[in-house]
Homo-oligomer: A and B are copies of this chain.
Amino acid sequence: MQIGIVAKKIGLSVDAIRFYERNALLPRPPRTRGGFRQYAETDVETLAFIRRVQGLGFKLSEIRGLLNLRGNRLQPCAPVRRRLQEKLSDVQQKLASLHNLERDLRLALRHCNREMRKRSAHCPILRERNPSKPEGAK
C-alpha cells in the first residue's frame, strides 16, 4: 500500500503519517526501488491505535510510550492502567478549572446584566477593580 492509500483509509493526511515516522511513532516501512514507502496492514493498525489513544487525550510523546508497551508481550496492563489513571486525573483537574471558569463567566454576565438594566454607562466588567472572582473558595 502506498502512503496515500493508507492516509485515506484511516483519515489522516500524508504529511501527518510522514510526521509520525519522523517522530518515531511509526516504524520506517520498506521502500520501492524508486523510494516510495510500502505499508502493510500492521502499519494501518498502528496508526489506528495512535488515533484511538490520541482520542483519549494522550499526546504524541506519551503515545510513544504506549507503543513501546504495545510491543511487549508480558502483562502490560499495569503500566497501561497507571497511564490511564494519570490521564484521568489530568482530565478531572481540567474539568474542575473549567467549571470554575464557567461559574465566573455566569457571575460576570449577571453583573453586566444588572448594570444594563440600570442603563448605566459604566459596565462593571470593564470597570470594576475586583470583579467576579471573590477569592473566597480554595
Contacts and interface: CB of A to CB of B under 8 A. Distances in A.
Nearest to A116: B77
Contacts of A69: 123, 126
A56 B126 contact: no
A64 to B, nearest CB: 14
Interface in A106-138: 106, 108-109, 112-113, 115-116, 119, 121, 123, 125-126, 129, 131-133
A55 interface: yes
B116 A81 contact: yes
Interface in A89-113: 91-92, 94-95, 98-99, 101-102, 104-106, 108-109, 112-113
A95 to B, nearest CB: 5
Contacts of A27: none
Residues of A contacting B: mostly: helix
30 contacts: A52-B131, A52-B133, A53-B125, A55-B104, A55-B133, A56-B101, A57-B101, A66-B126, A69-B123, A70-B126, A73-B121, A75-B119, A76-B123, A76-B126, A77-B123, A78-B116, A80-B126, A81-B109, A81-B113, A84-B108, A84-B109, A85-B109, A88-B102, A88-B106, A91-B98, A92-B102, A94-B98, A95-B99, A95-B102, A98-B98
